[in-house]
Structure 1
Amino acid sequence: MAEDHKITIKVNDNGSFRVTGPVELVDAEGNSFEHKESFSLCRCGGSGNKPFCDGTHKSIGFQSAPRAK
Structure 2
Amino acid sequence: MSDEPVTITAYPDGPLLVRGAARIVDAAGNAVERRRRTVALCRCGLSSIKPFCDGTHKAAGFRTDE
Fold-level match, TM-score > 0.5?
yes
Give the letter for the 1:13 counterpart: P
CA displacement at 1:65 relative to structure 2: 4.8
CA displacement at 1:52 relative to structure 2: 0.5
TM-score relative to the length of structure 1: 0.82
Identity of aligned residues (%): 46
Partner of 1:13: 12
- Deviation beyond 3 Å, 4+ runs, structure 1: none
The size of the alignment, in residue pairs, is 63
Q: Larger Rg: 1 or 2?
A: 1
Give the unaligned 5+ runs of structure 2: none
Deviations 1:8-53 (A, max 9, x none): 0000011000000011111122221111221000001110111110
Give the unaligned 5+ runs of structure 1: none
Structure having the larger proportion of residues in helix: 1
Choose 9-18 or 20-29, whichever is displaced more. 20-29
What is the CA RMSD across the aligned residues, in angstroms? 1.4
